[in-house]
A = this chain, B = another copy of it.
């Protein structure tokens, strides 16, 4: 109304400085290094800055400081539809801490496969991000190798066992998770336990399988090779493999699935045969996705706290950007077995 609209369009540091009768250096200091300026001027500049609604132009800042003030996440988008909201939860967890730290979150999506690395290249070589979080690690993860080689800060959600150089990671111990799950089944009296694993190139596939194997070994229960399957993590895949598993003559009394989606597929296969999950056949999944609560029967599974994980990942990344040593940034969390309705003692 009284303010001249046009002149207010560009309120830069110069404008604030002029208005306050100080140099732009002082304004900058007030905002970035408040201790270096006297309380009176600081006060005045602050007052004027807020009155004018001054927001430092991030591009000026970024150029000057040589940083992107941005961290990146690349999401591989499946050909089909996203069935599992892992990345969404991760995003939610990341977002929180990041905006507090004044960092932006750059998300790139790309078809999985070869293009993925190109996507990382674009982000780091194009100086678009200061750091990255990588998720869904593979046993030998070329993304991690690349980032290490480029010496750019990153944190990994999940480890990459075949990479020997130390790097920061936060992993949830799938080995432990399935060790517990298997023990639970064994205690219930199961001996005929089938396993539907994840694609072996995924790092967690190995861990989860190892947990299963260890528990079986310790209990001296043999694992039948024909009951050791590998799915692609989709519902459909679980469904299909379960069908083969449920062919007579011999049925397993329990099926352990490397993720919930496949476990849900298994439950569906059971229903279709008139078998009831948790009665005739026990099923345990991994992840604790939201649908797990509502399946029929509700799915027993290993809970992964994706969102907390996301939060912690940004803390770690921030620490890394701040120069923390890698050795202080390696964490393995212990997951929690949550029992719902899909497990029970074997039918005799």
Residues of A within 8 A of B (CB): 53, 55, 57-60, 62-63, 68, 70, 75, 77, 80-85, 87-89, 91-92, 94-96, 99, 104-110, 119, 122, 125-128, 235, 239, 264-265, 268, 271, 289-291, 293-294, 296, 306-307
- CB-CB under 8 A from A77, the residues of chain B are 88, 91-92, 95
Closest Cβ of chain B to A90, distance in Å, is: 10
- CB-CB under 8 A from A59, the residues of chain B are 59, 62-63, 68, 127
Identity of the chain B residue whose Cβ is nearest the Cβ of A56 in the assembled complex: B126
- CB of A91 within 8 A of CB of B75, answer yes
- CB of B122 within 8 A of CB of A99, answer yes
- CB-CB under 8 A from A91, the residues of chain B are 75, 77, 107, 109
- CB-CB under 8 A from A104, the residues of chain B are 106, 108, 128
25 contacts between A and B (CB under 8 A): A58-B127, A58-B128, A59-B62, A59-B68, A63-B63, A70-B106, A75-B91, A81-B85, A81-B89, A81-B306, A83-B85, A83-B290, A88-B88, A91-B109, A99-B119, A104-B106, A104-B108, A105-B107, A106-B107, A235-B290, A235-B291, A235-B294, A265-B294, A291-B291, A296-B296
Q: How many copies does the complex hold?
A: 2
- CB-CB under 8 A from A106, the residues of chain B are 70, 104-107
- CB-CB under 8 A from A53, the residues of chain B are 125
- CB of B82 within 8 A of CB of A89, answer yes
Identity of the chain B residue whose Cβ is nearest the Cβ of A75 in the assembled complex: B91
- CB-CB under 8 A from A82, the residues of chain B are 85, 88-89, 92, 290
Q: Find the residue from A75, A126, A290 having the highest chain B CB count within 10 A.
A: A290
Across the A-B interface, the 10 shortest Cβ-Cβ residue pairs: A95-B109, A77-B92, A83-B290, A82-B88, A59-B63, A82-B85, A59-B62, A107-B107, A81-B290, A55-B126
Closest Cβ of chain B to A13, distance in Å, is: 13
Identity of the chain B residue whose Cβ is nearest the Cβ of A289 in the assembled complex: B81
- CB-CB under 8 A from A107, the residues of chain B are 91, 95, 105-107
A293 to B110 CA separation, bound complex (whole angstroms): 25
- CB-CB under 8 A from A125, the residues of chain B are 53, 55
Closest Cβ of chain B to A6, distance in Å, is: 13
